[in-house]
Amino acid sequence: MQRHALRFVITLAGLSLIQAGCGVLRPQPDRTRFFVLEPVAAADAGAPPPAHAIALGLGPVTFPGYLDRPQLVRRVSPHQIAISELDHWAEPVQATFTNVLQHDLLTRLNVSGISTSPWPAGAQLDYEVQVEVLHFEATTDGTAELAARWTVRNSKTKQALLVRDADVKRLSASATTEGAVAALSETVGALSQDIADALQQLEAQRRASGREKPKPAGQ
């Protein structure tokens, strides 16, 4: 009798182990979440200024190596970052950043078009805007930070007309990753506003300089 009881217990234990093993081997749901940046709304940007349309080249836009990954990065301290295993960019961060910056500039400027680097040889551009991103992440307290150096060049001579540093911070509306990404989108919008303002000033100066040239004698 005892032998049968022992055999019964061993059988139950074996079945439990098999069930546990099946649970481990069963495919687990993918909990990865994917995020994208959002361009500024046309209503927020306002109407483009009534100025002469310019042709603009955007790029190259470069990112530091530690951001060149699918996962979102959080800034823990000045010398430490945390890499999320579940929160990913839906496309490379350099691509989504460039696409949103291009869209924001189109919304804020009166341009005939914006070409992204590398543009076709012989493209007729007025200005080129290069952006070197230094930091682009949210901190653990929910602050989104964008640090970048951007340069405006004369497309024909390649002369640097303007070099500026951007240090933009926006506080997230929530402690979620979605809130952090929304705040990061706002930093790109702020950068696009600075670039748009600078381009408008440069173009106004260029056109004013053209009008101020002396007319030929007899006119």
> Which helix H or strand E contains 202, and what residues bound it?
helix 177-211
Please indicate, yes or no, if residue 137 is contained in any of the structural domains.
yes
Calpha distance 80→66 (Å, rounded):
11
Q: Supply the CATH number for residue 150's domain.
A: 3.40.50.10610
CA-wise closest residue to 32 among 82, 72, 66, 67: 72
Please indicate, yes or no, if residue 201 is contained in any of the structural domains.
yes
User: In a structure prediction context, what are the per-residue pLDDT tens digits for the chain, which is 219 residues long?
Assistant: 555 554 544 455 455 555 555 555 677 676 899 999 999 876 566 555 555 688 999 999 999 999 999 999 999 999 999 999 999 999 999 999 999 999 999 999 988 889 999 998 888 999 999 999 999 999 988 899 999 999 999 998 999 999 999 999 999 998 899 999 999 999 999 999 999 999 999 998 888 887 443 333 443
Residues ≥6 apart with Cβ < 8 Å to 52:
110, 203, 207
What confidence tens digit (pLDDT) does each residue in 7-16 have?
Answer: 544 455 455 5
**Confidence (pLDDT) at 113:** 86
Domains: count for the chain: 1
Please indicate, yes or no, if residue 180 is contained in any of the structural domains.
yes
Token pair of 89, please?
């960019």
Please indicate, yes or no, if residue 148 is contained in any of the structural domains.
yes
Please indicate, yes or no, if residue 25 is contained in any of the structural domains.
no
Query: Which neighbouring-strand residues pair with 137?
Result: 145
Q: What is the largest CA-CA distance in the chain?
A: 127
Please indicate, yes or no, if residue 38 is contained in any of the structural domains.
no
What is the span of the domain harbouring residue 98?
53-209
CA 175 to the chain's CA centroid? 19
Please indicate, yes or no, if residue 5 is contained in any of the structural domains.
no
Percent of the chain with pLDDT over 70: 78
Residues ≥6 apart with Cβ < 8 Å to 8:
none
Please indicate, yes or no, if residue 14 is contained in any of the structural domains.
no
What confidence tens digit (pLDDT) does each residue in 129-170 have?
Answer: 999 999 999 998 889 999 999 999 999 899 999 999 999 999
